[in-house]
């Protein structure tokens, strides 16, 4: 193996998921040079950068959830690494180990735990509880859709494609994850247009816990009404501890009923 890797960046999200009882989320981005390859990823973990790493599992997605709690306390270190393998050429690349967590001390853990507790109570049991729904994360790597993309440029030529839902990648989005959001009806964004002046648009500002993280071009499904909202570029961290996001403020746009994201299968289990 060499240390030339097809992975641009690895993000290990262990702190907030741990507080929510959701394990550790490991995500990675594929460089453009390798996006056309058929890659498989093995996820490994160890106790130090020079440890003998153990394999947790394999995936062809660009994320993996380690459901085990491996920290064992604020002083226990855990590292993750990704081994990428090209199924066609049998080449492999190993990433540098990435540490899980941060340098939070006990006081910061207690503060974060209290913030999360208050946000969850407000969103699920408060006087004006949040809206229950599902976040669908957009795929950033996978099989290129042959139904709607230009074979030479990879650009989407049919934004209404039912195979990739306009993303250019087969499947379009990862499976939905249940979340609660604060859909404050008073926080409606007004957009200034050159021809018509100030108009009220269907873009709203919501408050959410930062796990799973809302990112541009993901979408949210209102479980009760099946309304679907696309996440806009204006995603801000409004609560953090030592740079680790705890609470986000996101702008969303209600999609029209003819949008292909209404065809993406989301089953309400509530």
Average pLDDT, the chain: 86
Q: Are 10 and 93 in contact (CB under 8 A)?
A: no
User: Does residue 246 belong to any structural domain of this protein?
Assistant: yes
Domain boundary among 101, 136, 170: 101
Alpha helices in the chain (DSSP H): 15-19, 106-124
pLDDT digits (tens, 9 = 90+) for 90-136: 999 999 999 987 778 889 989 999 999 999 998 988 777 899 999 99
Confidence band for 71, pLDDT divided at 50, 70 and 90: low
Burial string for 155-176 (b: 16+ CB within 10 Å, else e) reads ebeeeebebbbbbbbbbbbbeb
Domain that holds residue 63: 7-101
| CB distance 210 to 245 below 8 Å | yes
Checking if the pLDDT of 2 tops 70, the result is: no
The reported pTM is 0.84
Same domain, 137 and 36: no
What are residue 43's DSSP bridge partners? 57, 82
Instruction: Count the domains in the chain.
Output: 2
Q: What is the mean pLDDT of residues 52-76?
A: 83
Provide the pLDDT for residue 197. 52
Average pLDDT over residues 247-266: 93
| Beta strands across the sheet bearing 177-181 | 177-181, 131-136, 219-222, 228-241, 244-254, 197-209, 188-193
Q: Which of these ranges, 55-69, 73-87, 90-104, has the smallest mean pLDDT?
A: 73-87
pLDDT at 29 over 80: yes
Across residues 8-33, what is the average pLDDT?
87
| Predicted confidence (pLDDT) at residue 3 exceeds the cutoff of 50 | no
Percent of the chain with pLDDT over 70: 89
- Residue 219: give its domain's CATH number: 2.40.10
> Which pLDDT band holds residue 158 (cuts at 50, 70, 90)?
confident
Q: Is residue 110 part of a domain?
A: no
Residues 31, 75 share a domain: yes
Please compute the mean of the pLDDT values over residues 157-163 and round it to a whole number. Answer: 87
Q: How far apart are CA 148 and CA 215, in angstroms?
A: 24
Residue 119, domain member (yes or no): no
85 & 179 share domain: no
- Shared domain for 140 and 245, answered yes or no, is yes
Backbone angles phi, psi at 220, to 5 degrees: -115, 140
Residue 137 lies in a domain: yes
SS3 state at 164? coil
Asked if residue 224 is part of any domain, the answer here is yes
**Model confidence pLDDT, tens digit, residues 177-222:** 999 999 876 566 555 555 555 444 568 899 999 999 999 999 999 9
Residues 242 and 164 placed together within one structural domain of the fold: yes
Task: Judge whether residue 250 has pLDDT over 90.
Answer: yes
- The pLDDT, as a whole number, for residue 84 is 95
- If asked whether residues 95 and 131 sit together in one domain, one would say no
Same domain, residue pair 156 and 200: yes
Same domain, 147 and 79: no
pLDDT band of 1, cuts 50, 70, 90: very low
**Would you state the pLDDT for residue 17?**
86
Structure confidence at residue 157 (pLDDT): 82
How many angstroms separate the Cα of 267 from the Cα of each of 84, 133, 222, 270? 32, 10, 11, 9
Q: Are residues 93 and 177 in the same domain?
A: no
Cα 155 to Cα 261: distance, rounded to the nearest angstrom: 18
Write the CB contacts of 175 (distance below 8 Å, at least 6 apart in sequence). 136
C-alpha distances in Å from residue 245, one per residue of 13, 14, 67, 209, 213: 10, 11, 20, 9, 9
Q: What percent of the chain has pLDDT over 90?
A: 53
CATH code for the domain in which residue 58 is found: 2.60.40.10
What does the pLDDT average to over 11-31? 87
- Tell me how crowded residue 120 is: count the other CB atoms within 10 A of its CB: 16
């Amino acid at each position: 193996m060499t240390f030339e890797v097809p992975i641009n960046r690895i993000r290990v999200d262990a702190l907030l998921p741990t507080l929510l009882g959701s394990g550790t989320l490991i995500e990675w981005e594929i460089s453009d040079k390798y996006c056309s390859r058929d890659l498989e990823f093995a996820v490994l973990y160890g106790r130090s950068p020079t440890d003998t790493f153990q394999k947790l599992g394999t995936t062809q997605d660009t994320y993996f959830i380690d459901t085990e709690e491996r920290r064992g306390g604020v002083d226990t270190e855990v590292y993750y690494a990704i081994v990428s393998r090209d199924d066609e050429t049998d080449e492999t690349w190993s990433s540098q180990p990435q540490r899980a967590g941060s340098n939070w001390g006990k006081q910061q853990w207690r503060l974060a735990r209290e913030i999360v507790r208050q946000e969850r109570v407000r969103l699920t049991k408060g006087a004006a509880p949040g809206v229950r729904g599902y976040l669908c994360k957009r795929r950033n790597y996978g099989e290129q859709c042959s139904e709607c993309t230009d074979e030479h440029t990879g650009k989407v030529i049919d934004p209404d494609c039912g195979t990739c839902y306009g993303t250019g990648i087969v499947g379009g989005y990862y499976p939905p994850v249940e979340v609660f959001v604060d859909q404050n009806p008073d926080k409606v964004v007004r957009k200034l247009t050159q021809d018509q002046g100030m108009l009220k648009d269907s873009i709203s500002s919501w408050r959410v816990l930062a796990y799973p993280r809302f990112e541009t071009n993901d979408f949210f499904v209102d479980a009760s009404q099946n309304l679907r909202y696309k996440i806009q570029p204006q995603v801000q961290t409004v609560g953090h501890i030592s740079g680790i996001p705890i609470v986000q403020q996101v702008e969303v746009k209600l999609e029209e009923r003819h949008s292909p994201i209404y065809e993406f299968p989301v089953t309400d289990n509530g």
